[in-house]
């Protein structure tokens, strides 16, 4: 097993970001929701037990559907509070888009130290003392201003209302709590979902990959410095419009945004949840900068990207629709029969991610 396989499988099978069900009993919520369903005039179509990008709900006396997602970007706000808050909001919006909906409004919560206490913003923020010479000392109140500004600027760019939120300054931890909830309305005929549906479907990516966003490598202990994803405001807006244009074709069979662990996680989870395999040529993925390694293309968490699954005969129509919004789009692979997602670059295999983790590494967890 190579290092990138280790990092990606650590994120997919061990870290709670991708394994919330190991810490929370989703079955309890499903049983509760089933009870409410018997008396509610509305209907929860996709809830937490589905483990999809966002929830989908049918309002009473309304033919339309709404999608909702809550996203946290707490740890990235230590080294990059402005970008992390903005990408947290943007990521929640992409999750809503991934279900086939346009984001409408956002609620946020910020929890941090008292405003007059000092914090370190930068690469050494987790250590409590700067040794790199690149960090900035500021008050918690000044950091709150950066976080609020990041959320505001993303919502302004995306045309999303800030409907409300909450603030607590009673936190004592180095890491602030930064949470965004986004509500949207479906524009697709039915919810799009993450699991792969059909062997032979092609994988189409929207947006280019950069070298930012090494969170998965950091959490796996393979790098010492977390470099969170950089906020891409105009690109995020263009990707949303491109994705909704592609959704409007009615030819999307499955969809996922590219957040934590990037292409690697989006493809691997979709294949695993659908009980199928996948084959991806990372050489075909659009990039934002020259000189990226295959591992960076696979795992980096660059913002403003989406992943679609489309029947072979519909690929060109979907590509035209997405490119009409000025966004790079490309076919990068396909869904296969099998039990693993295989990623290659220039004809050489980079990573093979099975549906089940290797017992010798993760069996005891």
Residues 183 and 288 in one domain: no
Q: How confident is the model at residue 335 (pLDDT cuts 50, 70, 90)?
A: very high
Residue 170's CB is within 10 A of a number of other CB atoms, namely 8
343 contacts 265 by C-beta, under 8 angstroms? no
For residue 43, is it within any domain?
no
Which residues, listed in sequence order, are joined to residue 70 by a DSSP beta bridge? 181
* Residue at a domain's end among 190, 207, 234: 190
pLDDT score, position 7 = 86
Percent of the chain with pLDDT strictly greater than 90: 80
Say yes or no: 154 and 222 in one domain: no
Structure-token pair, residue 142: 């000044």
Quick one: DSSP state of residue 74?
-
Asked whether residue 238 falls in the same domain as residue 129, the answer is no
CB-neighbour burial class of residue 192 (10 A; exposed 0-12, middle 13-18, buried 19+)? buried
**DSSP 3-state of 332:** strand
Q: Which domain holds residue 336?
A: 1-21+192-365
Same-domain pairing of 184 and 261: no
- 318 domain residue, yes or no: yes
Q: How confident is the model at residue 360 (pLDDT cuts 50, 70, 90)?
A: low
Residue 152 belongs to a domain with what CATH number? 3.30.1330.10
Residue 364 has pLDDT above 60, yes or no: no
d(CA 10, CA 67): 29
8 Å CB contact between 275 and 182: no
Residue 57 maps to a domain: no
Using the predicted structure, report yes or no on whether residue 294 has a pLDDT greater than 70: yes
Do 77 and 185 have their domain in common? Answer: yes
Tell me, yes or no, whether 158 and 285 share the same domain.
no
Cβ distance 298 to 245 under 8 Å? no
DSSP 141-158: HHHHHHHHHHHHHHHHHH
| Same-domain check for residues 234 and 363 | yes
pLDDT average, residue stretch 152-170: 97
* 332 shares a domain with 284: yes
Count of domains for the chain: 2
What interhelical angle do 233-247 and 315-323 show, nearest 10?
140
In this predicted structure, the answer to whether residue 49 has a pLDDT above a threshold of 80 is yes
pLDDT digits (tens, 9 = 90+) for 218-253: 777 777 777 788 999 999 999 999 999 999 999 999
Residue 288 and residue 142 share a domain = no
Q: Is the distance from CB of 103 to CB of 185 less than 8 angstroms? A: no
| pLDDT tens, residue by residue, 29-46 | 999 999 999 999 999 999
Residue 295 in any domain: the answer is: yes
Sorting pLDDT into bands at 50, 70 and 90, what band is 361?
low
Cβ(318)–Cβ(230) below 8 Å: no
* No. of helices (H) and no. of strands (E), the chain: 10, 15
Per-residue pLDDT of 168-207, as tens digits, reads: 999 999 999 999 999 999 999 999 999 999 999 999 999 9
Same structural domain for residues 186 and 246? no
Q: Pick from 163, 190, 217: which residue ends a domain? A: 190
128 and 274 belong to one structural domain: no
- How far apart, in whole angstroms, are the C-alpha atoms of residue 337 and residue 231? 36
What mean pLDDT value characterizes the chain? 93
Q: How confident is the model at residue 365 (pLDDT cuts 50, 70, 90)?
A: very low
What pLDDT score does 215 carry?
81
CA–CA gap between residue 98 and residue 112 (Å, rounded): 30
Average pLDDT in the 317-344 region?
97
Do residues 322 and 257 both lie within one domain?
A: yes
46, part of any domain = no
């Amino acid at each position: 097993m190579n290092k990138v396989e280790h990092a990606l499988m650590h994120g997919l099978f061990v870290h709670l970001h991708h394994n919330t069900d190991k810490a929370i009993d989703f079955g309890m919520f499903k049983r509760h929701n089933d009870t409410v369903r018997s008396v509610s005039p509305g209907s929860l179509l996709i809830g937490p037990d589905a483990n999809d990008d966002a929830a989908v709900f049918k309002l009473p006396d309304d033919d339309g559907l709404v999608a909702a997602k809550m996203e946290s970007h707490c740890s990235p706000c230590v080294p990059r509070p402005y970008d992390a808050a903005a990408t947290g909001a943007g990521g929640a919006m992409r999750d809503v888009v991934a279900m086939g909906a346009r984001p409408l409004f956002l609620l946020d919560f910020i929890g941090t130290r008292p405003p007059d206490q000092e914090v370190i913003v930068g690469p050494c923020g987790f250590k409590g003392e700067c040794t790199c010479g690149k960090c900035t000392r500021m008050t918690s109140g000044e950091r709150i201003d950066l976080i609020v500004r990041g959320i505001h600027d993303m919502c302004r760019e995306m045309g999303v209302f800030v409907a409300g939120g909450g603030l607590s300054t009673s936190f004592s931890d180095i890491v602030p709590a930064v949470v965004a909830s986004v509500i949207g309305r479906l524009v697709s005929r039915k919810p799009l979902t993450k699991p792969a549906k059909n062997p032979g479907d092609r994988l189409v990516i929207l947006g280019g990959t950069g070298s930012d966003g090494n969170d998965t490598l950091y959490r796996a202990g393979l790098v010492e410095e977390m470099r969170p994803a950089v906020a891409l405001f105009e690109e995020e807006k263009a990707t949303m419009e491109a994705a909704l244009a592609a959704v409007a074709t009615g030819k999307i069979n499955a969809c996922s945004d590219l957040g934590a662990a990037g292409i690697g996680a989006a493809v691997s989870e979709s294949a695993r949840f659908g009980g199928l395999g996948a084959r991806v040529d990372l050489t075909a993925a659009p990039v934002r900068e020259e000189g990226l390694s295959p591992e960076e293309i696979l795992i980096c968490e660059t913002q403003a990207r989406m992943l679609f699954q489309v029947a072979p005969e519909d690929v060109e129509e979907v590509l035209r629709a997405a490119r009409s919004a000025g966004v790079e789009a490309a076919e990068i692979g396909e869904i296969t029969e099998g039990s693993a997602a295989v990623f290659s670059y220039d004809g050489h295999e980079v990573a093979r991610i099975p549906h089940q983790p290797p017992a010798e590494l993760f069996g005891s967890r």
